[in-house]
Amino acid sequence: MELNPKYPMHNRIIRVMIAAAALVALSLAPTPAAAQAPAAGLFPAYTAPRAIDGKPNLNGIWQAFITANWDVEAHPAQPGPHPEIMGVWGAGPGGQSIVEGGVIPYKPEALAKKKENLEKRTAVKATNDPHRYDTGDPELQCYRPGVPRANYMPFPFQIFQTPSEILMVYEYKGAVRTIYMDPHREAPTDSWMGWSNGHWEGDTLVVDVTALNDHTWFDRAGNYHSDALHIVERYTPISPYHLKYEATIEDPTVFTRPWKISFPLYRRVEENVQLVEFNCVPFVEELMYAPLGLYKPPSR
Amino acid sequence: MRKQTVEVSSALVLMMVWLCAPVLVRAQAPSGTTTFKATVTDTETAIKEAAEEAKAAAAAASNWTPPRTPWGDPDLQGFYLSLSYTPLERPPELAGKAFYTEAEALAAFRKAVEEDAEVDPRTVHYDWKEYGMDAWQSPVRPNLRTSLVVDPPDGRIPALTPEAQKRRAAARERNPQVSVQTLDNLYTRCITGNQGPPRLPFNHDSESQILQTPGYVVLILQSNNDVRIIPLDGRPHLPQNVGLWLGDARGHWEGNTLVVETTNFHYQRNWRGSTDGMKLTERFTLVDPKTIRYEFTVGDPATWVRPWSVESVLPRIEPPLYEFACHEQNYGLMNVVKGAQAREAEAAARKK
Amino acid sequence: MRNRVLALLAAAVILCVPVLMAQAPSGTKAFDPKAVDPETAIKAAAEAAKAAAAAAANWTPPRTAWGDPNLQGYWLTATYTPLQRPPELAGKAFYTEEEALAAFKKAVESDAEVDPRTVHYDWKEYGMDAWQSPVRPNRRTSLIFDPENGRLPALTPEAQKRQADGRAAARARNPQVGVQTLNNWYTRCITGNNAGPMTRGGNPGSDSAAGAAGVTAEAQIFQAPGYAVLIMQSNSDARIIPLDGRPHLPSNVRNWLGDSRGHWEGNTLVVETTNFIAPGTNFLGGTARTKLTERFALVGPNTLRYEFTLDDPATWAQPWSAETLIPRIDPPLYEFACHEQNYGLMNVVKGAQTREAEAEAKKK
């Protein structure tokens, strides 16, 4: 095809086509090798800068971007409870399993209990009887998430690192965990967030978590544990922008063997990023106390 | 000091009971909140020890520079107690008298301690003392000041504005019946702890921790495990429409003093009747190895006719803090509301 | 056979239809409301088919910058060729060129015809009849080529029972018509009408959106290292196809568009899709366990050969396969905001409820 002064429209078409071809050629140009993302799971070896304790610097705000809070095993998208009111807000996304091997190794009777949990997960039965505790997913009532769930809630958390302890403050409910580095301390009693003692193995922070009570769940799908739960976490910097998080979960009352989860924790890098308080207690007072006749909304 | 029934979650109580077993004494390796000791049953000893502490602290303060963190900030890290027998406002009979003499201070302290230790079994079923949680069972100290309020000079909180008084009346009108959310007490509802901000040193669960990293100070309160993260990098506050129950804090150093400015309070917080326009400035200074001087100035033109200030001390205590799972099965709240509803019903019945 | 295939391939390549060349790209040019004369369209289509054949003769398929065959571009999935071979053509897998053109002409004229007594709006007014696009005649008499008789394989006994029981059970569960009793995912805007096999065979003159040959028949293939992406105009359904050999999702995680995995066999992109939640009507009765295998290959600069196989032992005694040649069209695709104020659905259900009520009234 040639430019022909007799046919201006024709010429314009030609020019457009040439331009388009050039554009296509540019878009197909290879990207420089250095800018290509590493293949999945592979990162060049990385040595993190040191914090004041001479250890890899984990200070900062971190967040997981997985859907494990809905279900730590593989799960399709779901409508969630009360779709007739909540529509998309209440729906759950699909996601892949964070459990090594895909499924949690429940004992048969424990698996039955998990299924029962799943069916009753939206049950709310606030009670002033300290001997009773029979509600559904504790997250629904703004209870503390426990470990490791706190690390994969869809909220950021901030790590503060000192030689004697590492503090984790979770935006969700302002829940806190202190990881005692030096000295280690003994748990006085069971608690929701457990009791953590940590040490370094090379560049990996290893945290031993015990004294967890049996009221927390691993997710909204009813995956649960007893108070024999014992967790060993590992936090390893992989790049300036993410950590590898692994946890080995052990509870001989409920599972046939220990099992492992892992996922990346990403650094929040926005300017002036901070935790913005998420105090959910006021959001659940009607849910919890109205059935007991204790919650009366204001008359205006 | 009024006796109060135990209104705290059973978990905390259990924790306290466990740690206050007689085997624990001050000299032990930290293995529990040694702050409160059920073994300290003798008020005389407690008073004497407190007086000595106060003297020692005064002496230590005279020639002392606070240590620094490895990156050069003053090091305030540690565990501290916010507790005092000094009243918030100066009692009318002490008008004009801002300071006690040493002897008067000790006498006032003794009086407060003995009253606190007294238990009338006719009205009180459980007392904090049994759990070692009366203030005198901790390193609380006597105070030369006659009130915590130091400004206005009369030691009394300024008057409410007319607007604030109207607000109060309107609140009562809006919620004629008692229920969870008509309770004015965020702590009973476990929305926040009882340590503000600002911190008023009267309550139980008054332990706290200060933790520092480059660019941050973190304040962790035992009460409700409230956490305040204080960036020191001069970043702006959150926008005005973002209101937080614990406010949004920004800190900087003035010499050895940590100055924390907190704004963005939640519009329903209602701290002593205040609005979301409340502004709080706190100052933390480590004045001797075992004492933080804590000052705050609070203002809210919609609430008080002028700002007012408080000064108190936070004595250092042993680690650690415990989890405070306040909301997790908060039967205290349920019982309080039930009780109040019962009283309300009784009153209504009597009217007929 | 090979010559015939080559001839067919050659016939399928197209150059830009003359009427479209003068327009600067500013919209989906595939369907042109100015093309109002079926005769012209038929002629243009025939010429295009011839030109395509010529172009295919001496041609090497291009490659992407990273070396994969380059299938990228925009493609028209419309065709007048029926899925199944009509009984009167039994045994005749291919037309001659003249026969193909005659069949095409017949289909076009039937499609262009509008009976004003029954039709208020016709696709033609919007330039959306298939013949108003670069749709082409086809030497094949049916899309299905396997089984050789060009017809769907027999249903398994299990499938027959399931389909009969299924209808009865559905009516028992939902005696009244409602949104969720409609089995058409496209009417409900859950998926588009090309979810799964992206061509469904022509049904000329059909007044059902699901059956019409031409409606929303555009598709885009996009490629990046390690991925191919198939975007259908219909409902803007997008399928991401990893090419790295990773396993499928576990069987409890199911998608409306299924879960696709692709690999290259020479110049052909082979895509295997499983994990369907509930296949649409274009699966012709296959269950959620259906495995869809598609093969995409450029056979000329402007022609894509598209073959698909549906395999569901619970439904058919054997897998069955269909093939069509897809012309290249100009970009772009448009957003297809199907669900956003889906008054079509509301009106369909309302209408059905009205009919139901009338029927009830008649019984009394």
Per-position DSSP letters for B292-345, written without gaps between them: EEEEEEEE-TTTBSS-EEEEEEEEEE-S-------STT-HHHHHHHHHHHHHHH
- R_g of chain A computed on alpha carbons: 25
> Does B37 score more than 90 pLDDT?
no
> Does B338 score more than 50 pLDDT?
yes
Identify the pLDDT of residue A23.
47
Identify the pLDDT of residue A182.
93
Strand partners, C320: C310
> Does B12 score more than 60 pLDDT?
no
Angle at which helices C97-112 and C38-57 cross, to 10°: 140
> Does A258 score more than 50 pLDDT?
yes
Identify the pLDDT of residue A12.
56
Q: Is A287 on the interface with B (CB under 8 A)?
A: no
Element (DSSP H or E) covering residue A100: none
Query: Beta strand pairing status for B149-151 and B207-213?
Result: unpaired
Q: How many CB atoms lie within 10 A of CB A203?
A: 15
Section A109-124 average pLDDT: 96
> Does B315 score more than 50 pLDDT?
yes
Q: Which two tokens stand for residue C214?
A: 């031409």
Residue, of C203 and A248, whose pLDDT is higher? A248
Q: Which two tokens stand for residue B74?
A: 């003053």
pLDDT digits (tens, 9 = 90+) for C1-17: 444 444 433 333 332 22
Residue, of C33 and C21, whose pLDDT is higher? C33
For chain A, report the end-to-end CA distance as a whole number of angstroms: 77
Instruction: pLDDT band for B134, please (50, 70, 90 cuts).
Output: confident
Share of chain A above pLDDT 90, in %: 76
Identify the pLDDT of residue B99.
93
Instruction: pLDDT band for B91, please (50, 70, 90 cuts).
Output: very high
Section A5-25 average pLDDT: 50
| Closest chain B CA to residue A296 | B179
Identify the pLDDT of residue B39.
61
> Does B27 score more than 50 pLDDT?
no
pLDDT digits (tens, 9 = 90+) for C100-136: 999 988 888 888 877 777 777 777 777 777 787 888 8
| CB-based contact A28 C255, cutoff 8 Å | no
| CB-based contact A12 C24, cutoff 8 Å | yes
Q: Is A171 on the interface with B (CB under 8 A)?
A: no
> Considering only CB atoms, which chain A residues are within 8 Å of C66?
30
Q: Is A228 on the interface with C (CB under 8 A)?
A: no
Q: Which two tokens stand for residue B144?
A: 């030369």
pTM (predicted TM-score): 0.80
Identify the pLDDT of residue C20.
27
Instruction: pLDDT band for A28, please (50, 70, 90 cuts).
Output: very low
Q: Which two tokens stand for residue B208?
A: 């706290």
Section C59-73 average pLDDT: 91
Asked if residue B170 lies in contact with residue B164, where contact means CB atoms within 8 angstroms, the answer is no
Name the burial class of residue A132, with classes exposed (0-12), middle (13-18) and buried (19+) by CB atoms within 10 angstroms of its CB: exposed
Section B107-117 average pLDDT: 87
| CB-based contact B192 A142, cutoff 8 Å | no
Identify the pLDDT of residue C55.
75
Alpha-carbon distances, residue A15 vs A10, C30, C233, C307 (angstroms): 9, 21, 29, 36
> Does A62 score more than 70 pLDDT?
yes
Identify the pLDDT of residue B175.
67
Q: How far apart are CA C229 and CA C21, in angstroms?
A: 28
| Closest chain A CA to residue B236 | A272
> Does C23 score more than 60 pLDDT?
no
SS3 content of chain C, % helix, strand, coil (to 5): 30, 20, 50
Q: Which two tokens stand for residue B282?
A: 């706190």
Identify the pLDDT of residue B38.
59
Alpha-carbon distances, residue A244 vs A74, A210, A262 (angstroms): 20, 21, 7
> Considering only CB atoms, which chain C residues are within 8 Å of A75?
252-253
ipTM for the predicted complex: 0.79
Q: A75: helix, coil or strand?
A: strand
Q: How far apart are CA C314 and CA C290, in angstroms?
A: 8
Instruction: pLDDT band for A38, please (50, 70, 90 cuts).
Output: low
DSSP secondary structure letter of residue B9: -
Residue, of B121 and B114, whose pLDDT is higher? B114
Residue, of B336 and A29, whose pLDDT is higher? B336
- R_g of chain B computed on alpha carbons: 21
Q: How far apart are CA A114 and CA A224, in angstroms?
A: 7
Q: Which two tokens stand for residue A126?
A: 């606030």
Section B303-313 average pLDDT: 96
Element (DSSP H or E) covering residue B137: none
> Does B240 score more than 70 pLDDT?
yes
Triad A271, A272, A275: Cα angle to 5°: 125
Compute the residue count for chain C.
364
**Residue burial B97-115, b: 16+ Cβ < 10 Å; e: rest:** eeebeeeebbebbbebbee
Instruction: Count the alpha carbons within 13 Å of C16 in the hemisphere toward its beta carbon.
Output: 13
Backbone angles phi, psi at C330, to 5 degrees: -85, 155
Q: Is A21 on the interface with B (CB under 8 A)?
A: no
Instruction: pLDDT band for A63, please (50, 70, 90 cuts).
Output: very high
Section C195-210 average pLDDT: 65
As a dihedral over the C-alpha atoms of residue C329, residue C304, residue C16, residue C193, rounded to 10 degrees, the angle is -30
> Does A119 score more than 70 pLDDT?
yes
Compute the residue count for chain B.
352
Range picked from B136-150, B281-295, C25-39, C193-207 for highest mean pLDDT: B281-295
Asked if residue A64 lies in contact with residue A168, where contact means CB atoms within 8 angstroms, the answer is no
Residue, of B198 and B49, whose pLDDT is higher? B198
Q: Which two tokens stand for residue B311?
A: 């000064």
CB-nearest to A76 from C24, C225, C254 is C254
Triad C189, C190, C191: Cα angle to 5°: 90
Backbone angles phi, psi at C205, to 5 degrees: 75, 5
pLDDT digits (tens, 9 = 90+) for A190-241: 999 999 999 999 999 999 999 999 999 999 999 999 999 999 999 999 999 9
Q: Which two tokens stand for residue C248?
A: 């499928």
> Does B28 score more than 50 pLDDT?
no
Instruction: Count the alpha carbons within 13 Å of A117 in the hemisphere toward its beta carbon.
Output: 20
Nearest to A117 by CA among A214, A246, A253, A190: A214
| CB-based contact C277 A76, cutoff 8 Å | yes
Asked if residue A239 lies in contact with residue A258, where contact means CB atoms within 8 angstroms, the answer is no
Identify the pLDDT of residue B24.
24
Chains C and B in direct contact, meaning 3 or more beta-carbon pairs closer than 8 angstroms: no
> Does A126 score more than 50 pLDDT?
yes
Instruction: pLDDT band for B225, please (50, 70, 90 cuts).
Output: very high
**AA identity, residue C115:** D
Range picked from A152-166, C101-115, C163-177 for highest mean pLDDT: A152-166
